[in-house]
Amino acid sequence: TEDGGDGATVILQGHVDVVPPGDLEQWEGDPFVPRVTGDTVHGRGACDMKAGLTAHLAALAAIRASGVRLRGRVAVHFVVGEEDGGLGAFGTLRRGHTGDACVIAEPTAGTLVTANAGALTFRLDVPGRSAHASSRDEGVSAVDAYLPVHRALARLEAERNTDPDPLMAEYPIPYALSVGTLRSGDWASSVPDLLVAEGRLGVRLDEDPAVARAALERCVAEACAADPWLRAHPVTVTWPGGRFASGRLPAGDPLRDTVADAHAAANAGVRVRERGAPYGSDLRLYTAAGIPTLQYGPGDIRHGHSVRERVTLPEIVEVTRTLVLTVLRTVNTK
């Protein structure tokens, strides 16, 4: 914390954890060793979000080096666990580390993200009946039993993405419902008696996560009721893993214009575009704690979590300049 007095406190926030690299053979070199080509840095976590952390630290260093005396305080919250639900941010806030405004340097590709959709992880246990594959008619394949449920989930996704919030309208699927893993069977010549599907349910802006959960559970129950096997052997729905509510910067909060004006001042008058994001982040924890929060950082989230992950150095410099002006205009100077 940089403590300058009794003025406002601005939080520079980011997460230090990253997702696994996946198939190492698809990377050009070690994903955890930065690879620089021209003005671009490649590697796991480059944009999500080591670049944002770098911009925060560089902004703080620039303010220190300038000799400016602050009326308020700058707090740096670098947390763990964002990728799996936000326990790091939750614990930080729970311990009383608070502020009057917060900028999260998640990758926003030159835009201002003032709202996040939420996301919930679900698990479906689909029962079957085992049998020898040569007499599969004696059994019920859990794979076959799952298919009508999968089709029902696709219909639910379409229903939940009609008439999205204007901040989300640019996305083809603002609130995605995606099945990420399927596991079934333990022997090639056996009829599988269980299929486990795990996926992600998008939570709409301002939607209670309990309402989203109920919608998926109702969808699965209706699919089971329409199927002779599943009617007698219903799918079990559970909710393990990450849980992200939606969140947004309150309408009319001055932080939006402060960052937008700082971006314009640091970038030859170019105005930044405001939008929402279809994924969850720590933003919803800070806004739920009463701290006006938005996301503004280097990199493009479309490159995150992939073997293409990268960020350019000019983006980091651009964001750093904007952050410096944002801090100075938020906490004021002596």
Residues annotated as catalytic (active site), given as ranges: 17, 82
24, two tokens: 């190492």
> How far apart (Å, rounded) are the C-alpha atoms in residues 102 and 305?
24
State how far the Cα of 334 lies from the Cα of 326, in Å rounded to an integer.
16
CA angle 202, 206, 211 (to 5 degrees): 60
In angstroms, the CA 179 to CA 159 distance is 17
| C-beta of residue 281 within 8 angstroms of C-beta of residue 104 | yes
What is the C-alpha separation between 108 and 293, in angstroms, rounded?
A: 14
What is the rounded CA–CA span in Å between residue 137 and residue 74? 68
Q: Find out whether the peptide bond into 49 is cis, omega within 30 degrees of 0.
A: yes
Cα–Cα distance, 190 to 134 (Å, whole number): 8
Residue 240 makes CB contacts below 8 A (sequence gap 6+) with 121, 123, 198
Q: How far apart are CA 310 and CA 299, in angstroms?
A: 7
CA distances from 200 to 113, 123, 240 (A): 21, 9, 11
Residue in this structure with the two tokens 């999260």, named with its chain if needed: 104
